[in-house]
Chains A and B, each alone.
Chain A
Amino acid sequence: MQPEMSRTGLPTFVRPSMEPTLWQKSRPGARGVESPGVPPESVVSQIPKGAGREIPLSLPELSELDVVRHFTRLSHLNRGVDTHFYPLGSCTMKYNPKVMDRIPEIPGFRDLHPRIDPDGMQGLLEALHTCEETLCQLLGMEAVTLAPAAGAHGELTGILVTRRYFESRGDKNRTEILIPDSAHGTNPASAAMGGFTVHVLPSGSDGGVDLARLEEALSPRTALVMMTVPSTLGIFEKDLPKMVALVKASGALLYLDGANFNAFIGVLRPGDLGFDIVHINTHKTLATPHGGGGPGSGPVGVKSHLAPYLPSPRIRKDGDRYSLVSPETSIGPIRSFIGSSLVLLRALGYVRMLGGEGLRKVALYALLNANYLRALLSGTLPRTGKGLCAHEFVLSAKELSQEGLHASDLAKEILDAGYYAPTISFPLIVPEALMIEPTETESKETLDRFAVDFRKIIDLAKKDPARLKEAPRRTPVARPDEVAAARDPILTDPASLNIA
């Protein structure tokens, strides 16, 4: 886009224009792709009276080229890792290798029916079993379920497994789950869905779990302690071994939210650290694409004492033959079929391509990039924590509030500078948080450029805060009215109601 000079001498930009909706573009009678089938008239007469659809089928009518242009235009109004540096903390927006896109396109996986007899899916079961074994190795765990569709789904799975474990021991008093206040919101939400009471652990002054508070909170009612290491502040708990010992002594189980596994893949194994349960997000650490919010996948690893309770079906290997079984002790199925196979195969592909040493290198460079960027940004805004960070770090824009600015204003200016924005307003324990995670796949050059731009933005914020309030200028829209959207929600296209 070419900046034009406005009368005031400041550059103004022509915003890319928005795209009409499918229903606004709809042309009655237009035909898209010809589907196999038969004319509906021959069938409609056979549908029993009263069981047929009477209301209109309000789908848009467009040609194939209309549709292709529409979605291509929409893609131009969207930023991804392929187009922009995406330092969105906690989300591990690393490069998704293109070769992995080929795996779910292999017809033997893409077009395989999940209810085929086991004889017809031996290749799939072998690949998924390999995936389970590989994750056991990486996590230091004794069994893995591939069923959970996302991290939060993995949490719910781990929590239901915990419930079943204590039930099987006749221990009915353990009704509470301890969760640090810096945890992802999914942790307490999953605990509540699993029927547990949530007890929040306040963070200590260094942003880590306060050992004394943990000790105080642990009781015979504690079923599970859910931890995130490194924490969402990018700080690895120094007292972790002591915490593990305390939890073990209390008889509770210990859960690791592996959302930040990218920081220590191949370096530390959750099982070796003393965790009983861990979930990882393949769409973070194992480079499967986020897809605009999904599909993800959230495999869960457990120690052997919890393996009997994992969701059904389980993959069983007898010699060279694989089958699916549903053990009596299982919590039951947590979703349809085996798992998000096409996502899991991509994740397995990533692990196989990098190998053990390659994966360890991922962690080392995730640490290097985060610390390098942290060092380049020092002196801009205060950081929570001291010394080396793990894979991400959190800055606070609180001092800019005297200029009337929020972290969100900085984020909009960062968008204008040609990046996606860091995570803002999380973790909740840091006021005006900016959470930055560069990942290992970004080059030094990108980090250098981002640091220069970030410094300029902070300077501008201090000198001319009003300018930041005007951001973003180069995006298709600026500062949508979220309050109005929530007051009287419009969740479907009004134009779709005009189609008869």
Chain B
Amino acid sequence: MPNIAKGLVYLLIAVLVVTQLYPLIWLALYSLKTNEEILSGQFFALPAKWQWHNYVEAYTNGSYIKYLGNSVIITAVTLICVIVLSAMVAYAITRFKFRFGPAVMLVFLVGMMIPMQSTLLPLMKIFSPLELINTRWALILPYVAFQLPIAIFILSGFMRSIPTEMEESAHIDGANVYRIFRSIILPISIPPVMTVCILTFITIWNEYIMAATFISSDRLKTLPFGIYSFVSQYSVNYGDIGAYMVMGAAPVILIYFVLSSRITKGMVAGAVKG
């Protein structure tokens, strides 16, 4: 291949690195500038003086820790529920022989195509009399429900490939089905469970509209909702907004930095198997 074409390929690859990353870097610079610098039009320039106090202001005015904590609690509870419930269903579908097995699978598969937003209004109406609105359950229940299909799909695919001999010998040794599930199936399913964790984490951690619809009390807001509120509230202090957005992005970016190959593999597995 001629060198010019090769050069063009590298140029294209480099340009895409810039387009994909520069907006994020620009945000980081933006968060460290004064309003005057931001408005001056020097968008490529480094801040003249790094305005770390933007972060201090964003932190003190934005209840960052509170929203972060809410996100952590809600994501953690959702993760645990999704894993336990989906592993149980996946195991039952792949191993138990019962008449409705395929029907159960079909119910979950059909649900996969239902857009989450179309349930917002009816769920609002259902949750209100149960006094679930403005509680963490109003988010956790739908989050778990909507993550179940993909989780069941991934886990049942894996469990089908586990040879049954282990379970049979455990059965002969007197272990009942609950024991077999807990001591054999769950431990060897850890790799696909990790995939499920990654997919669920990315989706739930970033979810916005359900949180914004079912939660109104500031005490319970999750991070994406918190970012949205902060940005609309402090719309004149550009640097503070930038700082708050960087802080909002930081947890996921840090996790991605450490686990990037795991996360990309999990996302591909989720896409291809879903």
Q: Do A and B interact?
A: no
Give me the interface of B with A, judged by CB distance under 8 Å: none
Give me the interface of A with B, judged by CB distance under 8 Å: none
